[in-house]
Structure formats: structure tokens, C-alpha cells
Amino acid sequence: MHRFFIPSEWIRQSRVSLTDEPAHQIIHVLRLKPKDHIILLDNSGWEYEVEIDQMSPGLIQGRVIGQSLGTTEPRVKVTLYQALLKAEKFEFILQKGVELGVSTFVPFVSERCVVRKPGENKLARWRKIMQEAAEQSGRALLPALHPVATFREACDSAHGASILLWEEERSLSLSRILKGPPFQASPTFNVFIGPEGGFPPAEVAYAESCGIVPVSLGHRILRAETAGLAVVVALLYERRELG
């Protein structure tokens, strides 16, 4: 069944009114009809099954016929602190990260970033990519996208279990960190991934001073966008959140 994140005020008791993009999608792209069912999500964690009863140009009305708590959210809340990357790579990270189960994205600018801060148009595009990925993959909550931070601001804001992927780290492997205390059972997890050129030692030192642990992903050199997803998969797999 098709899923749509909507503003919570579109649902009033058991009546629903949809306008804007969801109405356009339902009428012109999916060509649904009265009596068809959809799932609405108001980002509270609840899922509302709705039967469409009236359709007019730009407005769809329906009624809630069932309500249940979503079961697809990982129990561990992963925040991906991702350095700005070239456009298609950053969008790739957002899309795949949402599918896999990331809860929050914090874009940041670090010394070796070669990409400028996104403007409002790009941010709107990013939010759209995230929402589509959340709807398509069956998420019950829409992951958050924070404003672009500096690297230091990002480090300062990371509390609890936090790692930074560093290609020059030789001793501490991801699995040793994920399987040992205190990370093993942490309900939240922060992952820092650098830009294409990686982190300079001074940034790694600053991160360490904030309690963020540099770890290695092994022998092969992964591109920035591959590394981020690999860590997210490994973490969710370790916590039995990926089958």
C-alpha cells in the first residue's frame, strides 16, 4: 500500500483531507480511485490506514479505517554526521541512509570539503529525497535533516557512543568497537564520515578530544559515500536490525 508522510493537522479524528504533493501523486501519478486504501504517517510513529472516499482536483478526502504503531523503526537511533560531498554522492547517502534506518543526518563542513554550503533549493531537494525514501522503504518516522554545521560544532554536539571513520586508523577496528562496552548496548550511535579527501590529523585529534573514537573499516579503501553506508549496515546488522 502506498505511504505518505503528511502534516498531522490533515487528520481530524477519523476524517482526512489531502492537498498539495500527496494529492497530486495520488490523482495523477498513482491514479488511485475512491475506495482505494493508502497509509498516512504524521511522524508520530502511528500509521493510519485510510480509505479514499472523495476526489476532486487538488483535494482528496477519506476516512481512517485503522490505526497501528509502526514496527519498522530500528531500536538504535543512528545519527550520521556526514561531511558535504559532491551533489549526487550526498543525495545517495541520504537516500540509502533513510532506507537502511538512519534517524538523523547532520551535514558538516570540514577542512578538506570542496563543496559549498547548500542553498535553500538544494535543502528542499534533499528533504524530498529523504521523504520519498522514507515512504518507499516503509519507515514509520521521517528522519531529520539538521542545518549544516562546522566540523567543530558537529563534534561538540555529538553525545554518547560516537565513532569517526579514519582511513589512517590502524589499530581499532569497527567490529571491536561495536562488540565491546560501552558501545555494544548504546541506544544511540553517532557516525562521522569525512569528505572525499578524508580527515586531516588535526580534525581527528579534535574529535578524539570530544570522545569520538576513530575506527578503521579494514584493508580496502572505500569512497566516502560507500564508507558511510557500510558503517550504518554493520551497526544495524550487529544490533539485529537488518534481518
Position 139 contacts a copy of itself (CB under 8 A) = yes
Residues ≥6 apart with Cβ < 8 Å to 121: none
User: 3-state SS of 109-151?
Assistant: ECCCCCCCCCCHHHHHHHHHHHHHHHHHHCCCCCCEECCCEEH
In the complex, the smallest distance separating the C-beta of residue 87 from a copy of itself, rounded to whole angstroms, is: 15
- Residue 72 makes contact with a copy of itself by CB under 8 A: yes
- 137 near a copy of itself, rule: CB under 8 A: yes
Grid cell locating 107: 551535514
Q: Which stretch binds a copy of itself (CB under 8 A): 22-30, 34-42, 96-104, 195-203?
A: 96-104
Residue 68 sits in the site that holds a copy of itself (CB under 8 A): no
For a copy of itself, the closer of residues 149 and 233 by Cβ is: 233
The answer to whether residue 230 forms part of the interface with a copy of itself (CB under 8 A) is yes
Residue 214: is the preceding peptide bond cis (ω within 30°)?
A: no
Other beta carbons within 10 angstroms of residue 185's beta carbon come to 9
Contact residues: a copy of itself, CB under 8 A:
71-72, 96, 99-101, 136-139, 173-175, 215-223, 226, 229-230, 233-234, 236-238, 240-243
